[in-house]
């Protein structure tokens, strides 16, 4: 790694589930300060890549580096993952979840958690198991975004969520909560965030079909993300 | 260390309500049991006195002691229930983080601590629960002994001291009489839990194949653990003294536990799937 380059590097990563190769030499980078979007239909390996970055699923070969280093226990203070499912115990109240986070993470920012709670109009005394799907997703988002970390990974944050919640979550991307962080996001709902993303990685059958800078392709070729997707997937 | 203790506290609290129920059942069943057992004995004596018109001295009724109560389902039932519940919880303490809607395993494995601490915290939780139930039993037995004395007149009972009570075979199994037995029983218990935990991690890492790896790991661990006994019995025809065997078992136990924790560390760090 060159000194000072801050990014997540995925290098020639392969992974099998039984005989099926779900990742077949995947390589791309996600820089700090940019929003990188992984796009592909279900089952192409988007979530698997996220889990592999967080060492939640082992890879068969290849290398994943965060700021030039393999993930280790301290890395979890500078990178966080917001999966599409709640990562706290359902019987907990939101405030219990906050206490848990404050107990274990030095990077937990309670003031920001409270700010997000107000923004999403949730109550600290709400029990997680009683929340709607949209509100559960919001709590999950708070648990990730209220950490002072350099990188945030989000897996399908808009999946199965009503239009108003989607708008609220999309608003987060334009706020100071995301600024200066490196974000990797997977989504089907590209329309919600097309104008916000800096970089796109198109995946299919466990390989990267195309990796491009959205601004660059807009300026040089006059194409939107959807245009490029159509070109690549319909080719 | 602070983080580890927080994790143990967290794991301990997750099962605490059910544990309190278990404690409640044990207290209620054993207290009701000792009262019932004692009253039945007294009633039998009264029947002899009232119906057969016998005096206390004439009655040929075998005196009751704590030994009789300790052999009853009233005493053993809650202990068995506690043991069975904790045995099931050895598995559930892991699977509850994966199964159903609960995906707490994500959070556990994204904590900024060495992942082996999760394993050790769960093991410590089981040990604390076991020791807690044993401590409860130690508190309950003198109370139950007292109740027996209150209800049954001295002519119809034999008094046992606490020391004698702890020598009753099934009680001695729970509350070892010597340091050697304590080390043997509880180290073996901790060893078994660590082996089962590692087998569970094999399954959580390799899923269906992992079940086979887990079973093989358990079998290999048992073989190594019992190797001194097996060699002594079948090859050397009882060559070693019991003390020598005890220390050999202690050594193989430590080897097995160390291997188990080392394997678990490798799996939880590199192979486990969420």
What is the pLDDT confidence band of residue B223, given thresholds at 50, 70 and 90? Answer: very high
Question: Chain B window 34-93: which residues touch A at a Cβ cutoff of 8 Å?
Answer: none
CB nearest to B114's CB, from A73, A85, A90:
A73
Q: φ and ψ at A158, to 5 degrees?
A: -100, 0
3-state secondary structure B143-174: HHHHHHHHHCCHHHECCCCHHHHCCCHHHHHH
Cβ neighbours of B271 in A, within 8 Å: 58
User: If interface means Cβ-Cβ distance under 8 Å, which residues of chain A face chain B?
Assistant: 51, 54-58, 73-77, 80-81, 83, 85-90, 100, 103-106
* C-beta of residue B94 within 8 angstroms of C-beta of residue B273: no
Q: Does residue B149 register a pLDDT over 50?
A: yes
The pLDDT score that the predictor gives to residue A2 is 47
Q: Does residue B179 or residue B259 have the better pLDDT? A: B259
Mutation for A interface: B102, B114, B119, B209, most A CBs within 10 A: B102
* C-beta of residue A166 within 8 angstroms of C-beta of residue A192: yes
Strand locations in chain A, DSSP E? 7-17, 20-31, 35-39, 61-66, 79-82, 151-155, 182-186, 199-204, 207-213
What is the pLDDT confidence band of residue A3, given thresholds at 50, 70 and 90? Answer: low
The total of structural domains in chain B comes to 2
Q: Do A76 and B104 touch (CB under 8 A)?
A: no
In this structure, how many other beta carbons lie within 10 angstroms of the beta carbon of residue A9?
18
Mutation for A interface: B106, B208, B209, most A CBs within 10 A: B106
What is the pLDDT confidence band of residue A4, given thresholds at 50, 70 and 90? Answer: low
CB nearest to B271's CB, from A58, A75, A88:
A58
Q: Are B171 and B184 part of one and the same domain?
A: no
In terms of Cβ atoms closer than 10 Å to its own Cβ (0-12, 13-18, 19+), residue B190 is middle
- Given the structure tokens 């089907």, which residue do they identify? A188
What is the pLDDT confidence band of residue B89, given thresholds at 50, 70 and 90? Answer: very high
Q: Do A104 and B112 touch (CB under 8 A)?
A: yes
* C-beta of residue A188 within 8 angstroms of C-beta of residue A160: no
The token pair at A223 is 């194409």
Q: Does residue A18 or residue B260 have the better pLDDT? A: B260
B18 in contact with A, Cβ within 8 Å: no
In 3-state terms chain B splits into helix, strand, coil percentages (rounded to 5) of 80, 0, 20
Q: Do A57 and B274 touch (CB under 8 A)?
A: yes
For residue B17, give every residue at least 6 positions away whose Cβ sits within 8 Å of its Cβ, in sequence order, or none: none
Strands A199-204 and A207-213: what pairing? antiparallel
| Closest by CA position to B5, among listed B117, B97, B80 | B117
A118 to chain B nearest CA, in Å?
24
B13 in contact with A, Cβ within 8 Å: no
B9 in contact with A, Cβ within 8 Å: no
CB nearest to B111's CB, from A56, A85, A104:
A104
CATH superfamily membership of A7-233: P-loop containing nucleotide triphosphate hydrolases (3.40.50.300)
CA distance linking residue B96 with residue A173, whole number of Å:
34
For residue A214, give every residue at least 6 positions away whose Cβ sits within 8 Å of its Cβ, in sequence order, or none: A194, A197, A198, A199, A200, A225
Cβ neighbours of A74 in B, within 8 Å: 112
* C-beta of residue A193 within 8 angstroms of C-beta of residue A187: yes
B115 in contact with A, Cβ within 8 Å: yes
Using left for φ > 0, alpha for ψ between -120 and 50, and beta otherwise, residue A68 falls in: left
User: How many residue pairs from chains A and B have C-beta atoms closer than 8 A?
Assistant: 60
A63 to chain B nearest CA, in Å?
13
CB nearest to A104's CB, from B3, B104, B114:
B3
Q: Are B76 and B97 part of one and the same domain?
A: yes
Q: Does residue A29 register a pLDDT over 90?
A: yes
Mutation for B interface: A17, A52, A53, A55, most B CBs within 10 A: A55
Q: Among A99-103, A169-173, B169-173, name the most confident range.
A: A99-103
CA distance linking residue B141 with residue A167, whole number of Å:
64
The pLDDT score that the predictor gives to residue A1 is 45
* Sign of the CA dihedral running B113, B117, B121, B122: positive
CA distance linking residue A81 with residue A105, whole number of Å:
14
Sketch the domain layout of chain A as residue ranges: 7-233
Length of chain A in terms of residues written: 235
Average pLDDT over residues A215-220: 93
**Domain of B226, in residue numbers:** 177-274
Q: Are B159 and B267 part of one and the same domain?
A: no
CA angle B69, B74, B78 (to 5 degrees): 125
Average pLDDT over residues A152-173: 84
Q: Are B44 and B144 part of one and the same domain?
A: yes
CA distance linking residue A199 with residue A36, whole number of Å:
5
B91 to chain A nearest CA, in Å?
18
User: What percentage of residues in chain A have a pLDDT greater than 70?
Assistant: 98
**Beta-bridge mates of residue A69:** A66
Q: Does residue B53 or residue B226 have the better pLDDT? A: B226
CB nearest to A89's CB, from B6, B104, B113:
B104
Cβ neighbours of A57 in B, within 8 Å: 273-274
What is the pLDDT confidence band of residue B182, given thresholds at 50, 70 and 90? Answer: confident
CA angle B140, B141, B142 (to 5 degrees): 100
Average pLDDT over residues B211-237: 95
In terms of Cβ atoms closer than 10 Å to its own Cβ (0-12, 13-18, 19+), residue A7 is buried
Q: What is the dihedral angle through the alpha carbons of A134, A98, A87, A48, rounded to the nearest 10 degrees?
A: 100
Average pLDDT over residues A106-129: 95
Q: Do A77 and B111 touch (CB under 8 A)?
A: no
Q: Does residue A174 register a pLDDT over 90?
A: no
* pLDDT tens-place string over residues A69-94: 999 999 999 999 999 999 999 999 99
Q: Are B224 and B119 part of one and the same domain?
A: no
Strand locations in B87-217, DSSP E? none
3-state secondary structure (DSSP) of residue A36: strand
CB nearest to A56's CB, from B3, B111, B274:
B274
The token pair at B51 is 């119906």
* C-beta of residue A81 within 8 angstroms of C-beta of residue A56: yes
CB nearest to B112's CB, from A77, A83, A100:
A77
CA distance linking residue B3 with residue B116, whole number of Å:
12
Chain centroid to CA B212: 27
Q: Are B6 and B128 part of one and the same domain?
A: yes
CB nearest to B106's CB, from A83, A90, A105:
A83
Chain centroid to CA B203: 24
Chain centroid to CA B247: 23
Q: Do B106 and A80 touch (CB under 8 A)?
A: no
Per-residue buried b or exposed e for A169-208, using 16+ beta carbons within 10 Å of the residue's own CB: bbebbeeebbeebbbbbbbeebebbeebbbbbbbbbebbb
Q: Do B6 and A103 touch (CB under 8 A)?
A: yes
């Amino acid at each position: 790694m060159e000194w000072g380059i801050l990014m997540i590097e995925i290098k020639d990563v392969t992974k099998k589930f039984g005989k099926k190769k779900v990742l077949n030499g995947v390589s791309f980078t996600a820089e700090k300060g940019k929003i990188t979007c992984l796009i592909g239909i279900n089952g192409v390996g988007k979530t698997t890549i996220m889990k592999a970055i967080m060492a939640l699923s082992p890879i068969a070969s290849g290398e994943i580096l965060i700021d030039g280093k393999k993930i280790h226990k301290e890395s979890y203070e500078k990178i966080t993952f917001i999966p599409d499912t709640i990562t706290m115990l359902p019987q907990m109240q939101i405030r219990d979840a906050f206490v848990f986070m404050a107990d274990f993470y030095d990077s937990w920012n309670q003031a920001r958690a409270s700010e997000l709670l107000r923004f999403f109009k949730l109550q600290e005394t709400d029990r997680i198991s009683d929340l709607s799907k949209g509100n559960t997703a919001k709590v999950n988002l708070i648990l990730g975004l209220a950490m002072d970390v350099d990188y945030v990974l989000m897996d399908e944050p808009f999946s199965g969520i009503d239009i108003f919640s989607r708008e609220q979550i999309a608003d987060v991307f334009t706020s100071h909560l995301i600024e200066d962080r490196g974000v990797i996001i997977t989504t089907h709902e590209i329309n919600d965030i097309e104008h916000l993303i800096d970089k796109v990685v198109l995946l299919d059958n466990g390989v990267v079909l195309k990796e491009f800078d959205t601004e660059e392709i807009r300026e040089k070729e006059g194409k939107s993300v959807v245009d490029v997707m159509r070109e690549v997937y319909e080719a | 260390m602070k983080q580890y203790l927080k994790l143990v506290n967290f794991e301990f609290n997750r099962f605490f309500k059910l544990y309190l129920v278990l404690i409640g059942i044990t207290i209620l069943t054993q207290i009701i049991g000792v009262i019932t057992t004692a009253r039945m004995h007294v009633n039998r004596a009264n029947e002899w006195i009232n119906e057969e018109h016998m005096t206390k001295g004439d009655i040929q009724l075998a005196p009751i002691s704590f030994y009789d109560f300790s052999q009853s389902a009233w005493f053993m039932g809650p202990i068995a229930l506690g043991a069975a519940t904790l045995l099931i919880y050895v598995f559930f303490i892991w699977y509850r983080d994966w199964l159903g809607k609960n995906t707490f395993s994500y959070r556990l494995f994204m904590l900024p601590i060495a992942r082996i601490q999760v394993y050790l915290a769960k093991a410590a939780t089981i040990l604390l629960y076991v020791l807690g139930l044993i401590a409860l039993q130690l508190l309950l037995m003198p109370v139950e002994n007292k109740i027996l004395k209150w209800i049954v007149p001295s002519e119809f009972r034999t008094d046992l001291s606490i020391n004698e009570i702890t020598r009753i075979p099934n009680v001695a199994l729970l509350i070892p009489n010597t340091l050697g037995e304590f080390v043997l029983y509880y180290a073996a218990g901790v060893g078994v839990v660590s082996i089962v935990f590692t087998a569970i991690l094999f399954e959580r890492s390799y899923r269906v194949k992992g079940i086979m790896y887990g079973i093989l790991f358990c079998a290999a661990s048992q073989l190594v653990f019992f190797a001194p006994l097996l060699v002594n019995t079948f090859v050397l025809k009882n060559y070693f003294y019991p003390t020598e065997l005890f220390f050999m078992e202690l050594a193989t136990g430590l080897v097995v536990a160390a291997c188990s924790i080392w394997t678990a560390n490798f799996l939880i760090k590199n192979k486990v799937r969420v």
